[in-house]
Structure 1
Amino acid sequence: MHSPSMPPRAGFRFLPRRIGTLAAMMATLALPSLPAHAQSRLDAPSAQELIEALAKPMPDGQAPARRTRALIRPDAKLPDATTALCDTPGNALAGTRGAGKTRALYVTDAPKVDLNVRFALDSSKLSADAEQMLDALGQALKSPELRTETFVIAGHTDRQGNGDYNKRLSCERAAAVGDYLAKRHGIARERLVILGFGFDRLLNPDQADDEINRRVEVRRN
């Protein structure tokens, strides 16, 4: 930039602006192109960022459920084929909300975040980085904005490997997140609904084997 005491020379008055415009165009062209449906996955969100993402208004007609019932088959390994509900100890299923209408487990338009929760290879063991991220999530779920809400904790994998294996793994990982939140941060288990999708809901279906598809989704319920 020119000093205020030294006006630009004639003939070069618009050169900085043109250079800036050209640089911006080149930077845009250099960005990797992603499919329109591709979404982001968070690596290290703060508690405040999670609060702001998850405290957004629910879609019309989707008030939070308050009634729950416990599962009775804690030894099952595959999620329910219809609801993707994982059959794990302490998991809860949202009940009804009047006139016999069943409350949806997974509200598609509800506020949510996709977290890059890191586990050991082919395992549900949380890494140190994962625990740090879940500490921020635990703080967010205890905040005044979110402490009365219920949430889906959904495990997702990439497309590599057997479908049943990936669904079991996604349930184990989602359950590990729920266990950590309950034990470390005192989040009531009835506030968490554990789901496992395997590779049924890829974040980037155009690159099904990409690691970005491996994530834990937290969604208002």
Structure 2
Amino acid sequence: MRTIHLLPVSLLAFGLLLPAAPVQAQMDPATQRLIDQLRPQSQDALNATRGLRRPPSAPSESPATPAVTLTPAAPAPQPPPRPAPAAQTARPSTTAPAGMPSASLTVNFATGSDELTPSAMRELDRLGRALTSADLAPYRFRIEGHTDTVGAASLNQALSERRAAAVGRYLAQRFGVDAGRLETIGLGQTQLLVPTPDNTPSAENRRVQVINLGR
């Protein structure tokens, strides 16, 4: 009877004991822009500028010969300066306080409701991926609901509060964002991105503003 000897085969060779390496999904450009907007700026460049020193000036030496005074030639006549073009005022992208990383998102809701539309969910999916990224995971954020001036101010205030809360719930349920990282608030029509008269529909003013509150 022939004896068959089986050589020991390491399971590691087949990768059976090795955990699957996590694959980091590449962020789409829109999500990456949100990350860049909401991430605090680095202070490295500022610190480097503060550390710069002027080079020492060369020691002055007394001239060996008397200084010669030169009479400058008369300047050539110059044409009259052209009037500067009228400055164009850039539209603001946020009403957040200066220095606080922020982003304004167009989140569409059903009319007069806090029900998220499919396009709103797609926008919030980008926000959810941004807030759970390694760059933004350590920070807390304020979710602000804003409306335009259509309708009564009191109704817009209540509606903006419900919509901000709906955004917070969506981020928590779909992406597992810790509720302790999110502060939701409604501001109604009190902070218009684009000033308009009463009862003026404006997609730019109907927005959700996200502000980085720090760690």
TM-score for the superposition, normalised by structure 2? 0.58
User: Is residue 164 of structure 2 the alignment partner of residue 174 of structure 1?
Assistant: yes
Q: Secondary structure at the match of 1:213?
A: coil
Instruction: Report the Cα distance in structure 2 between the residues aligned to 1:202 and 1:133, rounded to whole angstroms.
Output: 21
Deviation track 1:148-181 (CA, whole Å, cap 9, x = no partner) reads 1000100000111111111100001111000000
Structure 2 segments unaligned to the other structure (5+ residues): 1-27, 44-94
Query: CA 1:58–1:172 in structure 2 vs 1: closer, same or farther (change >3 Å)?
Result: farther
Tell me the equivalent position of 2:185.
Answer: 195
The superposition leaves residues 99-155 of structure 1 with CA deviations (integer Å, 9 ceiling, x where unpaired) of xxxxxxx96121111100001110000011111111111111011110010001000
Look up the equivalent residue of 1:49 and give its one-letter code. R
1:54 maps to which of 30, 38, 46: 38
Which of 207, 211, 216 is the equivalent residue of 2:203?
Answer: 211
- Once residues 195 and 112 of structure 2 are traced to their aligned partners in structure 1, the CA distance between those partners, rounded to angstroms, is 21
Q: Confirm whether residue 150 of structure 1 aligns to residue 144 of structure 2.
A: no
Contact 2:145 2:186 in 1 (8 A): yes
SS at match of 1:212: coil
Q: CA deviation at 1:207?
A: 5.4
Q: Is 2:147–2:188's contact at 8 Å kept on the other side of the alignment?
A: yes
1:45, 1:133 within 8 Å by CA — same for their partners in 2?
no
Alignment partner of 2:104: what SS?
A: strand
The 8 Å contact of residues 130 and 136 in structure 2, kept in 1 or not, is answered as yes
- Aligned residues between the structures: 132
Change (3 A) 1:58 1:187: farther
Q: Which structure 2 residues correspond to residues 55-134 of structure 1 after superposition, within 5 A?
A: 55-57=39-41, 108-109=97-98, 110-134=100-124
- Mapping of residues 30-49 of structure 1, within 5 Å: 46-49=30-33
RMSD: 2.2
Give the Å deviation of 1:47.
1.4
Contact preservation (8 Å) 2:149, 2:196: no
**Would you say the 8 A contact 1:142–1:187 is kept in 2?**
yes
Q: Give, in whole Å, the separation in 1 of the partners of 2:134 and 2:140.
A: 13
**TM-score, normalisation: structure 1:** 0.56
Aligned-partner Cα distance in 2 for 1:188–1:141: 10
The structure with the larger Rg is: 2
Task: Quickly say closer, same or farther: Cα 1:192–1:130, change in 2 above 3 A.
Answer: same
- CA 1:49–1:107 in 2, change beyond 3 Å: closer, same or farther? closer
Q: Runs in 1 of length 4+ with deviation above 6 angstroms?
A: none
Matched residue type, 2:105: L
Q: Secondary structure at the match of 1:195?
A: strand
Per-residue deviation, 1:56? 2.9
Change (3 A) 1:121 1:206: closer
**Identity score, percent:** 41
Partners of 1:192 and 1:161 lie apart in 2 by 28
Corresponding residue SS for 2:204: helix
